[in-house]
Amino acid sequence: MPLLYIKNLDKVTRLGIWKVEESIDELQSKLILNKQELNFFSNLKKGKRNLHWLAGRVMLRDLLETSGFIEVIEDEFGKPYLPDFDFELSITHSYDYAGVIISKSKVGIDIEKIKKDLKSIAPKFLSVQELNKLDINNYKSQLYLFWCIKECLYKLYGKKELAFKENIKIKSFDLSSIGKVIAEITKDNYHKEFEVCYEEFVPEYMLAYTIDC
């Protein structure tokens, strides 16, 4: 697997990013899958989705440093968890790249390829204040960055029913090719701020991740 990197973000948090270039057979040969997973995999639409699903499992094995079977289950909200390991996880993929983050705390990760212009839908996921923060000279990349940040927080929260525009707000940021922002989730009685790290890790691909410290 063409691994870009594995980062130890702290003593209990690891992040892996890679470019998926293997065939389905190559990836599947690296895994132990139970009957339920094999049935799920066989029902996936052939193509990138199969590769992403397999690659996520292979990367998870590397991060957990195990050659054994790893059971991944989805909870009632569709959030994946590891019943046999004391780790939270989040998985993401976009076109040729995929990533996994694991930690003892809740985590979220998202990768987005910068492609079509999001300008027409920006008011649907950004507040007026957030729109006013955008640099007109770097508008398209920043829209993808803001979406990426909100998506990784949505995954961390894990209970769905979050509106990107109303419930997830980006409060401050120092925009560059790599950096951090302060963002918050507000939903009913839940309110919490998070530090979200981001980077354009290769040209035209944004990465954002956060840990619930």
Whether 65 and 95 map to the same domain: the answer is: yes
pLDDT above 60 (res 1):
no
Q: What is the pLDDT of residues 123-138, one digit of tens each?
A: 999 999 899 888 878 8
List b or e across 105-128, with b for residues whose CB sees 16 or more CB atoms inside 10 angstroms. Answer: ebbbbbbbebeeebeeebeebbee
Query: What is the number of domains present in the chain?
Result: 2
Q: What is the pLDDT of residues 44-102, one digit of tens each?
A: 766 677 888 888 888 898 899 988 889 999 999 999 999 999 999 999 999 999 899 99
Pairing of strands 205-211, 80-81: unpaired
Whether 173 and 118 map to the same domain: the answer is: yes
Whether 173 and 82 map to the same domain: the answer is: no
Whether 98 and 115 map to the same domain: the answer is: no
Whether 20 and 84 map to the same domain: the answer is: yes
Token readout for 144 is 């993808």
Distance from C-alpha of 107 to C-alpha of 148, rounded to nearest angstrom: 14
* Last residue in a domain, options 61, 78, 105: 105
Whether 8 and 98 map to the same domain: the answer is: yes
Residue range of the domain that includes 71: 3-105
Distance from C-alpha of 15 to C-alpha of 90, rounded to nearest angstrom: 10
Distance from C-alpha of 43 to C-alpha of 176, rounded to nearest angstrom: 41
Distance from C-alpha of 115 to C-alpha of 42, rounded to nearest angstrom: 30
For residue 203, give Cα distances in angstroms to 113, 114, 141: 9, 9, 11
Whether 19 and 92 map to the same domain: the answer is: yes
pLDDT above 90 (res 41):
no
Whether 7 and 100 map to the same domain: the answer is: yes
Whether 144 and 86 map to the same domain: the answer is: no
Please identify which residue in the block is written with the tokens 């895994």: 31
Our separate counts of H helices and E strands in the chain read: 7, 11
Whether 35 and 126 map to the same domain: the answer is: no
Cβ–Cβ contacts within 10 Å for residue 142, how many? 21
What average pLDDT does range 20-48 have in this prediction?
Answer: 79
Whether 43 and 74 map to the same domain: the answer is: yes
SS3 call for 213: coil
Whether 129 and 155 map to the same domain: the answer is: yes
Give the CATH number of the domain where residue 33 resides.
3.90.470.20
* Last residue in a domain, options 88, 105, 122: 105
